[in-house]
Every structure is written in C-alpha cells, then in structure tokens.
Structure 1
Amino acid sequence: MTDTAAPAAATGGCRGVGPGEARALLAVLESDPLVSCPAAEKFATSGAVPGPEGRFLTLGGPERSLVFVGSSVLPLRGDAHDHRALGVAVAGLGVGPMSVHGRREQVSALWDALGVCWGPHRDYRDAQHLMSLRRPVDRALVLGGVRAATLVEFEPVLAAAAAMYREELGSDPFAVGSGIPFRRRVARSLARGRTWIGVDRGEVFFKADVAAVSSWSAQIQGVWVRPERRGAGLGTGGIAAVCSALQARRLTPSLVVNGSNTAARATYRRVGMTDAVDYATVLL
C-alpha cells in the first residue's frame, strides 16, 4: 500500500517514486539491506523525491519494481520484464552512461535494455560476490594505526587511489576532464571521513573507502595495498580495522569482490566475511 496517490506514469509506464510512497520504498530497502545500502543512504538524506544524491524509478510501484539512479544504476526489485522497461526509462533520463551494479540476475535484465541505449560496455563483471561480516571482528587481526584520513593528506591519498584505479580498471583516472572529477571524488571521500589509510614514513601502504552508509550497513570499496607490501597481512589487518570501526557504529560491513580474485577473497574470509549475494557490475 502507498501513502497517497502515485505520480503519473511516463516512459513505458515507468515513473519516479513519489513522496507518498516513502513507506513502501523504505520497506523494499529494508528487505535487501546489503544490496540497497547506497539507495538507503540517499533515502535517509532526502527521502523518496529526486535530489542531488539520485532518484528512484518504478514500474507499478516500489512493491513491484524499483531502480535507484545515483552516481551509478542499482536495480533493487522487479522481474526481467520490469527491468527491461526500467532500463529504457533510465536511459531516457539523459544522465548516463554510467555503471550498473546489483544482484546478478537483475543487472542482466536491466542491461538488456540499457546496452541497446548506451552502447557497448567496457567490462561486464558477472561473477562477483557481495561479501559481508556478520560476526565481531577478531581484535587480534586489527592492524594498529589504520585510521580515517584527512584532507591534509589529499596528495598521498590521491596517489594511492590513482594506483588502485589503474590496477583495477586498467585506465588512467586523470584522462577524463584533466582528472578533475577523480580529484573531486577523492576529496569528497576525505571530507566525509570515508577514506581509511595505513601510513608508514609518510607513504600510504593501505587504503579503503567506505562508499555508502545506511542505518544498518556500510559498503567498503577501493581496497588497495601497495604492491611491494603485499603478502604480509596488511590487507587483512587493514580491512579488520575498518570493519571493527563500522561494527562499533552497529553497521554490518560489506564489499563486492570479483570471483576470480582468489587472493582478495581469501583476505576477506580471514577477517570473517562470507559470500552473501551473487553480484554483477557493468563498467562503462
């Protein structure tokens, strides 16, 4: 049930979620707390209505289907037919192309439509896993000194973030817009206290970003250890430190990892993380 009458339908019957549907929207977000984390953070900030953080689209109401369009596209509910229609509606917003991520089967259905509208993807990672930590971190694993970075540390953090970007995505983060969008993202994460680092003699050897925080969970991304320092347990200790800090706020830590990245998955398992959701990401 919605609170009031829903907004009129637009593209293919799809429409924005209205303020009167806030309770129904929240129920959907709460039903899939790990996957919905970025969307739930937007909802906590500005509710159901469109805002700078993004917007929600639906076909037939949030109880039936739901897609969140922020800095990326996140399908949250609906069958293949719903997501194909919503894909056309997302493309019609004129805000893309942008990455698509979420539950594997929902991303596949949404991309069927978005791919036609937006063209070829750069990479389709269809064998990912969203891992989560449900039990308390073993304090013996926590690496001392890992902490939230500050804006004063922008330059060394930027260098670490760029190294991670090149390694993970195989492209130069400074190639687009003279690097201004990338610099802004790094600065915003620092300003919000969302980037965690380990530093030794002025050099960042570990980095992780807390990309999204809801009332119940937090998503970690951008995990990186300086190559020459790998194999010494710094990744395990760093992630344990970040997870411990999140658990102290009564949040469930989670992150997305490629199924083929056996080293990273082993690191996260040592901290206590387990596979929770079959995931996929389309990079553009």
Structure 2
Amino acid sequence: MLTTTTTRVLAPADLDEAMDLLESEPVNNAFVTSRVKVAGLDPWRLGGEMWGWYEGGRLRSLCYSGANLVPICATPEAVRAFAERARRTGRRCSSLVGPAEPTAELWRLLEPSWGPARDVRPHQPLMVADRMPDDITPDPLVRRIRKDEMDVIMPACVAMFTEEVGVSPMAGDGGLLYQARVAELVGAGRAFARTEDGKVVFKAEIGAVTPDACQIQGVWVAPEHRGRGLSVTGMAAVLRHALADVAPVVSLYVNDFNAPARASYRRVGFREVGEFMSVLF
C-alpha cells in the first residue's frame, strides 16, 4: 500500500484538486476558498503560498501561508509537516487562525520557535444561520455604505479593529492596507451600517464570500449606544442581505468570552457548529 507523504507549494495547475478539498468543508474554509476563487493559486495574486500535503500521491490537506497561517482539512500528520515548513521559513504571518484542533496543535509545535504570542484565543465558537428569525424585525436603518462614505465608516472600522485585536490597523503602513480592504468591501456592496447624525452606531461587513457560504465580520456597536438592542436588529438586517444576495449559509466566529455578542447572535438564529482558534502576534 502506497503511504509516501510529501509537502509542497501548490501551483496554478493544482487548482481543481485544491478546490475539491476546500469545498469539502464550505463553512470552515470560507475565508481561504473566497481568496482562491478570486486569485487562484499564483502566490503573487493570492497574497501567499498554498501548501499541500500529499499521501499516496493524493492531496489530503492544505495550509494557507500569507498574512494568516491557516490549516485546512489538516490531519495530525499534515499539521506536523506544515509546522516543520513554517519553522524553516520563519514567521511571516500576523496570526494563526483556523479550526481549533489543528490550529492548537500547529501552535504547540510552533510556539517554541515563534512564541510568545501577543494573544491566544483558543475557543472561538463558529456559528451559522441559514434562515431569517421569525420574531425579529431587521433594523430598517441598516443599509449598504456608499463609496463616497469612506470618511463615515473608517473611524468605526478602526475602533472595531483596535478593540477586537488590541492594536490599531493604522500602525505600520499608516493604515494603507486596511483602508484598501475596507474600500474593497464598500465597493463590493458588502459593508453595512446604521448611522445617526453622520456617525456609525452599528456596522458589520460580509467578508469572505463563496457560492456555498459567506462570513460576517467586523460587527461593532458604538460604546455609547450599547444596550439598546442594536446588535440584534442590525445583525438581522445584515443576515437578510446576506441570505438574499450572497450565499445560502451565513457564518461567523466569535470569542467565547464575549457573552453579549454570543447572546445576540443566538437571538438572531445563529447556532454553534464548531470552534475556531486564533493566535495573534
């Protein structure tokens, strides 16, 4: 029985085989699948390398190595192989993120050479919804942000990122990459907000998008407006847009310690189907 294993960087010719693996877990893999569907496997366009782990000549696991290091459908043996390659190349990413079990093992193997991390979030429930709640009226004031409203949405995006990640996205390059990403989402019609007196009081974006699933990110309520239930009706509005215009399944992942957010998502109809983990540098 052929059991030879090998790990290599995938090339554009490997796209079909990689897509078969990515699409086998459409919710877990939504982030990477969305990037590959747009950019293919060329590292320059993809913004990183896609590593493939083969057993008996068949592609069994993947690992995206870019701004994030993301194990995909990764078996324990594949995780060990990816960790060895990551140790050799050195840390180039700002985070490890992915399904909790393989990500935890990947971090265990990498921590001696890559550590310490700035923050480790080992329990991030992965939640999905595929229908609208019957008992919640979506906030009618939540709408798509227009391209000429970048000055309105950017302060809220920066505040959300800083609060969530612990560092400002404006550091380093002055925020050029972050502003470009926000502008991309606004231009694609996937940034939503409720504004009052010219300021954002609730916002969320539909980040990763595939034909099978999409992922909501960047959910934020302005601190002075918290406790008004805006996250529930606001998320219902974004969910309605996502189900109607984007994909049949809507996902997100959330920190386990963020009890108010988890309660809001459950109220809108999201249910837990798995668990992610993030390691931030």
Q: Secondary structure at the match of 1:74?
A: strand
Cα deviation digits, residues 53-98 of structure 1 (max 9, x gap): 2432112166422112343122112222321221232455567132
Q: Secondary structure at the match of 1:171?
A: coil
Q: Is the 8 A contact 2:190 2:206 kept in 1?
A: yes
What residue in structure 2 maps to residue 60 of structure 1? 54
Distance 1:86 1:153, change over 3 A: same
Is 1:160 the counterpart of 2:156? The answer is yes
**How far is the alpha carbon of 1:119 from its aligned partner?**
3.1
1:244 to 237, 240, 247: 240
Partner Cα separation in structure 2 for residue 43 and residue 139 of structure 1: 37
**How far is the alpha carbon of 1:139 from its aligned partner?**
7.5
Cα deviation digits, residues 229-284 of structure 1 (max 9, x gap): 11111111111111111111343111110111110000000110000111111111
Q: Is the 8 A contact 1:199 1:205 kept in 2?
A: yes
Partner Cα separation in structure 2 for residue 22 and residue 185 of structure 1: 25
Any unmatched runs of 5+ in structure 2? none
Is 1:257 the counterpart of 2:250? The answer is no
- Kindly report structure 1 stretches of 4+ aligned residues shifted beyond 6 Å: none
Partner Cα separation in structure 2 for residue 76 and residue 47 of structure 1: 16
Moved more, 207-216 or 63-72: 63-72
**How far is the alpha carbon of 1:51 from its aligned partner?**
4.1
Q: Is the 8 A contact 1:136 1:244 kept in 2?
A: yes
1:25 to 15, 18, 21: 18
2:130 to 131, 134, 147: 134
Give the fraction of aligned pairs with identical amino acids, expressed as a percent: 33
Moved more, 85-94 or 237-246: 85-94
Partner Cα separation in structure 2 for residue 51 and residue 228 of structure 1: 42
Partner Cα separation in structure 2 for residue 193 and residue 17 of structure 1: 32
Cα deviation digits, residues 100-127 of structure 1 (max 9, x gap): 1111011012223433443321111001
Is 1:228 the counterpart of 2:230? The answer is no
Moved more, 132-141 or 251-260: 132-141
Partner Cα separation in structure 2 for residue 231 and residue 254 of structure 1: 24
Distance 1:47 1:71, change over 3 A: same
Any unmatched runs of 5+ in structure 1? 1-11
What residue in structure 1 maps to residue 274 of structure 2? 277
TM-score (norm 2): 0.88
**How far is the alpha carbon of 1:16 from its aligned partner?**
1.6
Distance 1:196 1:128, change over 3 A: same
1:107 to 95, 103, 107: 103
Q: CA RMSD in A?
A: 2.3
Distance 1:248 1:139, change over 3 A: farther
2:9 to 16, 19, 36: 16
Q: In structure 2, what residue type is equivalent to 1:30?
A: E
TM-score (norm 1): 0.87
Q: Secondary structure at the match of 2:130?
A: coil
Partner Cα separation in structure 2 for residue 90 and residue 38 of structure 1: 20
Partner Cα separation in structure 2 for residue 52 and residue 95 of structure 1: 20
Moved more, 108-117 or 70-79: 108-117
Q: Is the 8 A contact 2:66 2:92 kept in 1?
A: no
Cα deviation digits, residues 195-222 of structure 1 (max 9, x gap): 2111112111011122210111111111
Moved more, 52-61 or 246-255: 52-61
2:94 to 73, 76, 98: 98
Partner Cα separation in structure 1 for residue 15 and residue 126 of structure 2: 26
Partner Cα separation in structure 2 for residue 43 and residue 79 of structure 1: 21
